[in-house]
Amino acid sequence: MLFEVNKIRQDFPILKTQIYGKNLVYFDNAATTQKPQIVIDSCVNFYQTQNASTHSFHFLSNNLTNQIEEVRLKVKNFVNAKEVREIIFCKGATEGLNLLANGLENQLQKNDEVLITQMEHHANIIPWQILAKKTGAKLKYIKLKPTGELDLLDFEKKLNSRTKILAITHISNVLGLINPLKQIIKKARQNGTLVVVDGTQAAAHLKIDVQNLDVDFYVFSGHKMYAPTGIGVIFGKAKLLENLEIYQTGGEMVDEVDFETATFVDIPNRFEAGTQNFEAIIGFGKSIDYLQDLRQKFNQQIESYEQELLEYATNQMQKIPNLKIYGQNSNSNLSTKIPIISFLIQGIDSLDLAILLDLEGIALRSGSHCAQILLKEFTILPTCRISLTFYNTKEEIDRFIYILTQSISKLQKFS
């Protein structure tokens, strides 16, 4: 079947929206993706016909419990985990990474080391900073090359017998660069280091195979892969999850509660305290169905189309004077990059630019993208970032380039 973007766009009602009377051009997919009708319908349908809480043993409740477990199975297959109990639902990647940093405290002693990279999102920095402070461990950062790529020599230099945890992003949310995870995990494994991967930017673009990666923990958010907000996933190898310290306590995760102590149920529910975001879990299941269906129907065409958008946008942007793109691989090879382009225009404030683009209906991100370490490392100012996906078009890129050029001229007149 041939991939036709205009047909796909019909699945996403918000793409027909006008902003200030202009057609919406949504280029902020790395922040959150839009939702297909099938996901929106499932949220409405949930409250109209299915709403209940789990484990109450009446019809609606039993039905919901079963549905939640069906979604867990879908997620297990989506990431190719070995067992269903290796899938924990959480609020999102941020909560998942906090849960892991908290739960791995028993793995660290004074002067042990936690290794992260300079390209991490704050969600994969601060939990480790706090853990290091609590345990007396040291937090080390793997450097980046001037291109923005991870410096693998620096990684090998910093990996040593004290490195107990490596926490690394699969794809940088600022640079769009895909890290060579397999190679990195292999080295960490040989060193006896636990590996936590932040897969938040990868889940919507790459096929995830946790067994093939041989990763210990893999975390991502549903809302960046067409699902509602408030749902995310922690994959963890069963043996490791069993030894993880508990994070939150309360209902649903206890076995027996006594006056002084309590015992807890087995994984995964042990890490799912309190009432879950049921509507989002069900919607997440639908988003996985949607993505799998697209991948099955169009096979490699989705990936190729996203690469085409990336190359087209990059080429057009490079023609604009004084525009610098951050995150280009050596040899300008775009095949290890997803369609995320962060850029600066010399002498122009990114927020001013974003405001002018917004007035024309173009939604992009400006700022430090929750990656202040990366910006500090390259001593760069807040950037603008466009992030594209399979429902974006070359016509939208053309409009963006046209408005961008006009906006630059306007701002240059004022400066």
Ligand X SMILES: Cc1ncc(COP(=O)(O)O)c(C=O)c1O
Task: Please report whether residue 179 would count as binding ligand X according to CB under 6 A.
Answer: no
Task: Please report whether residue 92 would count as binding ligand X according to CB under 6 A.
Answer: yes
Nearest CB to ligand X, comparing residues 123 and 195: 123
- Residue 31: name the closest of 370, 310, 396 by CA: 370
Stretch of 49-57, 195-203, 287-295, 302-310 contacting ligand X, by CB under 6 A:
195-203
Residues 387 and 29 sit within 8 Å (Cβ to Cβ): yes
Stretch of 53-61, 158-166, 198-206, 343-351 contacting ligand X, by CB under 6 A:
198-206
Task: Please report whether residue 98 would count as binding ligand X according to CB under 6 A.
Answer: no
Q: Which of 34, 135, 173, 276 binds ligand X (CB under 6 A)?
A: 173
Q: Which of 54, 98, 135, 169 binds ligand X (CB under 6 A)?
A: 169
Stretch of 33-41, 87-95, 333-341, 351-359 contacting ligand X, by CB under 6 A:
87-95
Task: Please report whether residue 389 would count as binding ligand X according to CB under 6 A.
Answer: no
Residues 79 and 327 sit within 8 Å (Cβ to Cβ): no
Residue 169, SS3 per DSSP: strand
Q: Give kind and range of the element (H or E) at residue 254.
A: strand 254-257
Nearest CB to ligand X, comparing residues 124 and 393: 124
Smallest separation, CB 338 to ligand X (Å): 11
| Cα 5 to Cα 173: distance, rounded to the nearest angstrom | 24
Residue 43 annotated among the catalytic residues of the structure: no
**Helix residue ranges per DSSP H, 111-180:** 126-135, 152-158
Nearest CB to ligand X, comparing residues 104 and 408: 104
Nearest CB to ligand X, comparing residues 19 and 31: 31
Count of residues engaged in binding ligand X, rule: CB under 6 A: 12
| Cα 143 to Cα 366: distance, rounded to the nearest angstrom | 24
Say which residues have a Cβ less than 8 Å from residue 180's Cβ, sequence separation at least 6: 150, 152, 336
Helices 59-79 and 278-298, packing angle to 10 deg: 40
Residues 200 and 69 sit within 8 Å (Cβ to Cβ): no
Stretch of 86-94, 131-139, 183-191, 244-252 contacting ligand X, by CB under 6 A:
86-94
Smallest separation, CB 45 to ligand X (Å): 24
Q: Which of 118, 193, 221, 314 binds ligand X (CB under 6 A)?
A: 221
| Cα 164 to Cα 112: distance, rounded to the nearest angstrom | 7
Task: Please report whether residue 93 would count as binding ligand X according to CB under 6 A.
Answer: yes
Q: Which of 94, 287, 393, 407 binds ligand X (CB under 6 A)?
A: 94
DSSP designation for 361: T
Task: Please report whether residue 200 would count as binding ligand X according to CB under 6 A.
Answer: yes
DSSP designation for 356: H
Smallest separation, CB 92 to ligand X (Å): 3
**Tokens at residue 44, please?**
């409405």
Q: How many CA atoms lie within 13 A of 235 on its CB side?
A: 31
Smallest separation, CB 351 to ligand X (Å): 18
Task: Please report whether residue 64 would count as binding ligand X according to CB under 6 A.
Answer: no
Q: Which of 28, 198, 272, 396 binds ligand X (CB under 6 A)?
A: 198
| Cα 86 to Cα 77: distance, rounded to the nearest angstrom | 11
First and final CA of the chain: distance in angstroms? Answer: 51
Say which residues have a Cβ less than 8 Å from residue 39's Cβ, sequence separation at least 6: 226, 227, 228, 283, 286, 287, 290
Q: What is the dihedral of CA 64, 68, 69, 75, to 10 degrees?
A: 160
Q: Give kind and range of the element (H or E) at residue 9.
A: helix 5-9
Map tokens 């639902």 to a residue: 89
Nearest CB to ligand X, comparing residues 123 and 165: 123
Out of 43, 90, 370, 384, the active site residue is 370
Task: Please report whether residue 201 would count as binding ligand X according to CB under 6 A.
Answer: yes
Task: Please report whether residue 174 would count as binding ligand X according to CB under 6 A.
Answer: no
Task: Please report whether residue 121 would count as binding ligand X according to CB under 6 A.
Answer: yes
Smallest separation, CB 176 to ligand X (Å): 11
Q: Which of 115, 123, 227, 233 binds ligand X (CB under 6 A)?
A: 123
Query: Binding string, 133-162, against ligand X, x = CB under 6 A?
Result: ------------------------------
Amino acid residing at 204: A
Footprint of ligand X (CB under 6 A): 92-94, 121, 123-124, 169, 173, 198, 200-201, 221
- Active-site residue set: 370
